[in-house]
A and B are shown apart, each in its own frame.
Chain A
Amino acid sequence: MDLPFFFAFTYLLPFSVYHVIQGFVSVFFSDFAIKFNESLYGFKPKETEQLKMTFKPWGSLAFAIGIVGFVILSNLDKYFLFLIPLAILLAFRAGYRFLYKGELRSYWKVSSIQNWRMILIQILGIVVFTIFTISRL
């Protein structure tokens, strides 16, 4: 069994679904997106007017990345190079969560458990995507 393939596929599928849903909700239902992110990550923002406007361009990028994920899934061996930017994206997101962990807890009311859970999920993705990419070079 091709384990790097199995793990990359298994991680990329929910990753893509998540980005398509997150993107769609952020672009078309920015009010709901606030609640969606609160229930998913624990974020409790105070100022939301600018945030809702920013969700739209950010959501469209997230949506596009979700679609890219599905294109990669259609042929992982052909599109494996695109996993490198996805791993970099996860590295940035995990890095920000680590660097801003104090602010996330005090201002955004994200619990340490919620934050570390996301960091671990993101690190797992970096590992899985990197191993698969190396296996195909």
Chain B
Amino acid sequence: MADNKTLKVLLWFVAIYHILIGLLGIFAKDTAVFIAKNFFNFNLTLTPEMDWIINPFSAYVLIFGVFIAVIATDVKKYKNMIYVAVGLFALRVVQRIIFMISAPDSLISTIDPVRNIIAIGVVAVIGLFMFLLARKMD
């Protein structure tokens, strides 16, 4: 039972994080450069292409947050959905590592690389905890 509570807290944290990032992208697009640099190690330049793509991208981030919030309302009933979220976390960890290794230098932000590794680690740990707590669920 306590594990379910921990899982719910974790899911609400993930939900609120995504909802806030999505809302910022939708309603305060000028913060996108800051968010990309500090949260995703991405040196974003707002070209017309990027200016457009941020719109649907932010909507997807927001909606993912809402999905997680729905899961958090009944973790037992929506256990299968937790595994989808864990899969996405795993994919994102792999992507961020590949980005660090292979992206053109011009696209990698000058933020301390250690900070980026910590960020990747946090995503991996959250995903792992979600997976383990979902499996252990009573």
| Chain B interface size range | 35 or more
A44 to chain B, nearest CB (A): 10
The interface residues of chain A, by DSSP majority, are classed as helix
Which of A48, A50, A82, A89 has a CB less than 8 Å from the CB of B60?
A: A89
The interface residues of chain B, by DSSP majority, are classed as helix
Contact A50 B49 (CB under 8 A): yes
Contact A96 B48 (CB under 8 A): no
- Given contacts A64-B87, A79-B78, whether A51 and B60 have CB atoms under 8 Å apart is no
Q: Which A residue's beta carbon lies closest to that of B48?
A: A107
Within 8 A of A (CB), among B56-76: 56-57, 59-64, 66-67, 70, 73
Which of A49, A71, A79, A93 has a CB less than 8 Å from the CB of B104?
A: A49
Contact A50 B92 (CB under 8 A): no
Contact B81 A58 (CB under 8 A): no
Tell me the B residues contacting A by CB distance below 8 Å: 26, 40, 42, 44-45, 47-50, 52-53, 55-57, 59-64, 66-67, 70, 73, 77-78, 80-81, 84-85, 87-88, 91-92, 95, 99, 103-104, 106-107
4 closest A-B pairs by beta carbon, nearest first, are A92-B59, A85-B66, A64-B88, A61-B60
